[in-house]
Amino acid sequence: MPKKGTKSKKAVDDVPDQQENKLPDYLELQRTRVVCNADAPIHVYIHMLLSFHVIAFIAYDHIVLTQGFQYSGAFAAMGVDNSVSVEKFCKNFKIDIKRLTEDDMEFDMIGVDASIANAFRRILIAEVPTMAIEKIFMADNTSVIADEVLSHRLGLIPLDADPRLFDYISENDVPNERNTIVFKLHVSCEKGSQRITVKSGELEWLPEGSQLSMASPAQSGDKQKTFTSFSQSQKEILEKPLGVKFKDITIARLGPGQAIELEAHAVKGVGKVHAKWSPVATAWYRMLPEVVILEQIEGDEAEELVKKCPVNVFDIEDLGNGGKRAVVAKPRACTLCRECVMGPCGEKIQLRRVRDHFIYTIESTGALPPEVLFTEAVKILEEKCERVISELS
């Protein structure tokens, strides 16, 4: 007989291993999925709340908020470890590239929390640096476009320049070949001719630096002082010439006798200072959709269901002898319009989202390829984490 306060070997053996325990199906569904019902407006709001780890339960026409169960000890009483660890992250995290082109990419980010996925999105939009036109030195502008509007249009033109090859410039720094790119635009429309369109391709790169003089030289032999101080040509330090990414962007329309002459200086910056430095046209993600048929849908109901879906998620399976039933053919294409769960067969279908599986899309403006942008975002997040750790240690 065991001593008081101790357990017998048999009792110890009867205690199940926490790693082997599993939650009941309904709890596992709540933990790993977001179930989307037919009441779209309410569930759009709930989907937003779930991103902040808040669980919302619907009670008729109002929402009751309760504390979420995403904390580590949520299922400790059931012998299930819900904590976050480096080992679990390394085991579950995965990147699966689905589409990759010169300008955009789509990939699956699996095994991460929504906060991590959103961190990458925010960094891509606001903190990955690019080169953009910041200063305009206007020598002549007789077009109908005001100087300020023209300068704003020039600033939004994507430049084909790798920002990793340049340095940031501060107020006290002198513009040089390492922190500034100079472009020149000189276009005129002769009197008596037809109106002309000024395109972005007419911006000329000046690898030697500025050509506009700040002031007339004091003596005839003095060197002309310009708005930049280049010690060498940028052709000597760069592997390829610089320019604009798209040469067909309309800048202005000039009538007979009108002209534009200016010099544009591009510097390195980030999107949180101004949107012109944002390297992405958009960066967004959505949870992986799951479409589950709870009960078989056959005959005319199956035909109606297939026609109802605007993105062709469902298809018809031939059962032979004239029989047919609806099957899920392309669940990834589901946009959660909820057309399938509205109507007579709505209770036979369940729409879900996988909480830790995100379909990520990055569209580059052209400064860097989309896969390079994501790599740079990972480096920036890593630097932020190291900064926090160093401050806490």
- As a whole number of angstroms, the distance between CA 231 and CA 176 comes to 7
Tens digits of pLDDT across the chain (393 residues):
555 545 444 444 444 444 457 888 888 888 888 888 877 555 444 444 544 444 343 333 333 333 345 667 778 888 888 787 888 888 999 999 999 999 999 999 999 989 999 999 999 999 999 999 999 999 999 999 999 999 999 999 999 999 999 999 998 999 999 999 999 999 999 999 999 999 999 999 999 999 998 766 556 656 678 899 999 999 999 999 999 999 999 999 999 999 999 999 999 999 999 999 999 999 999 999 999 999 999 999 999 999 999 999 999 999 888 889 999 999 999 999 999 998 888 889 999 999 999 999 999 999 899 999 999 999 999 999 999 999 998
Instruction: Give the β-pairing of 130-141 and 225-226.
Output: unpaired
Q: How far apart are CA 272 and CA 123, in angstroms?
A: 9
Q: Are strands 314-320 and 323-328 parallel, antiparallel or unpaired?
A: antiparallel
Residues 272/347, Cβ–Cβ less than 8 Å: no
133 burial class (0-12, 13-18, 19+ CB within 10 angstroms)?
A: buried
Helices and strands (H, E) in the chain, number of each type: 8, 19
pLDDT at 59: 34
User: What is 45-84 written as a DSSP string?
Assistant: HHHHHHHTTEEEEEETTEEEEEE-S-STTTTGGGT-----
Residue 243: per-residue pLDDT:
95
Burial class of 102 by CB neighbour count within 10 A (0 to 12, 13 to 18, 19+) = exposed
**If we measure between CA atoms, which residue out of 291, 277, 251, 295 comes closest to residue 373?**
277
Residue 209 in contact with residue 223, Cβ under 8 Å? no
Reduced to 3 states, what is the DSSP secondary structure of residue 199? strand
Query: What's the token pair of residue 306?
Result: 């297939």
DSSP for 264-299, written as a single string: EEEEEE-TTT-GGG-SEEEEEEEEEEEEEESS--BH
Q: Domains of the chain by range and CATH?
A: 31-43+62-69+84-128+279-292+333-392 (3.30.1360.10), 130-214+226-278 (2.170.120.12)
Please state the pTM of the whole predicted model: 0.81
Residue 76: φ, ψ to 5°: -65, -35
For residues 232 and 223, the answer to whether their CB atoms sit within 8 Å is no
Q: Residue 61 has what pLDDT?
A: 35
Half-sphere exposure of 392 (CA within 13 A, CB side): 6
Q: Where are the alpha helices (DSSP H) in 142-292?
A: 147-155
H or E segment at 106? strand 104-110
